[in-house]
Structure 1
């Protein structure tokens, strides 16, 4: 358990460092949801590795969901030519490619494994799926306000220059619905596993 969480923390640090080793800088990477979600999960993984049992399941669920969103959006949308929002072939150095895979593939997988296998206390509530939308929606507001100043947008599906505010609004509604459904899936899986674990702990009924 502790090994996996330390590995995830190291993967986050290495992923950011290797990505920043190219043309991008750390400050230039900060506006990306990828970096923010990975750093959030890395901090939580480091805290959990040093403190032991997870006592804040809603917070752990949130950071796990966000880094999972990072992995899914990258592989299904940004790196998928059929999505309509593909960022196309990107030239990267070897270090940047490794960093990219760490942040978009390795860390999300480690986060999901940690959640499914090692969380000691879990009991998500259905309303958490709505609460967990707060950060993605806040990020959208941040990206749009930043775009008004810099005239740049971190992702093509929130690029006002290309899509206009109507297009971005439609895109935002679609992604918000998808993230909410993913959150509900997290809650459903968690509750099934929690009940299964509770049944395993109960003695056999006397007949």
Structure 2
């Protein structure tokens, strides 16, 4: 006859000379195998093709050097490259791209759309220039009308939807917001230098009216750039805040009846 097993067994003291085992953090991929996200990959590839196609049309219709100097063209070219890479990773179930890159791409796409619709395509704005890619003060026509809508409306909205619906939250950080301003600052220096190097009678010497030094002078242009820069930084901070408060739509539901290879027994006693 054996003695009954006590309900409460005290913890045994640690054996001297044997180091304690460090806790190991098991990655989620070791528990839940990654699966390809084919619909996400197809959506991103479609957005990339739209952006790349609109950029290619603008390059074919106008001067390539002048066209490539636009912030709109550069931001959409970046979006096309990043979305192609992101589509490939989603298709092959690989780790997503760094959030510093995808967050910057989203920010620049949103800036492109907001600046166009708030300043350039707005009739009440003092900087109205609907045909900004052609340098005309009238609404674009033909292929230009299509590319203007794709580059300033379709791709920014698509980038925002991809971030909200197809990207896991919590990846953006406040320290990235200041880094994202490096490209707009570099573009400001580039466009001002470009305007100084071109002849005064060159058409569209300054590509954006709020950066036209010949018309407004450096004091007003730098003030405009400062206000836009603060707006870009505020938008970047807003994206970071929203990224940490939005729900995770990609979270998998737990399978309550999954087979684990063993069964749990009721506690003894």
- Whether TM exceeds 0.5 here: the answer is yes
Checking the alignment, whether the CA contact within 8 Å between 1:55 and 1:121 is kept in structure 2 is no
Aligned-partner Cα distance in 2 for 1:91–1:123: 39
Provide the residue aligned with 1:45 in structure 2. 83
Q: Which consecutive segments of 4 or more residues in structure 1 shift more than 3 A? A: 200-203
DSSP 3-state at the match of 1:81: coil
DSSP 3-state at the match of 2:171: coil
Q: CA deviation at 1:16?
A: 1.4
The 5-angstrom pairing of residues 73-112 of structure 1 reads 73-87=115-129, 89-112=137-160
DSSP 3-state at the match of 2:80: helix
The 5-angstrom pairing of residues 13-162 of structure 1 reads 13-22=52-61, 24-52=62-90, 53-87=95-129, 89-120=137-168, 122-150=170-198, 151=200, 152-162=205-215
Q: CA deviation at 1:125?
A: 1.1
Instruction: Name whichever structure is richer in helix by fraction.
Output: 1
| RMSD after superposition | 2.1
Checking the alignment, whether the CA contact within 8 Å between 1:57 and 1:122 is kept in structure 2 is no
Q: Normalising by structure 1, what TM-score?
A: 0.89
Q: CA deviation at 1:92?
A: 3.0
Instruction: Name stretches of at least 5 consecutive residues in structure 1 with no aligned partner.
Output: none
User: Is residue 192 from structure 1 mapped to residue 251 from structure 2 by the alignment?
Assistant: no
More contact order relative to length (CA 8 Å, sep ≥ 6): 1
Instruction: Name stretches of at least 5 consecutive residues in structure 2 with no aligned partner.
Output: 1-39, 131-136, 255-269
Checking the alignment, whether the CA contact within 8 Å between 2:174 and 2:240 is kept in structure 1 is yes
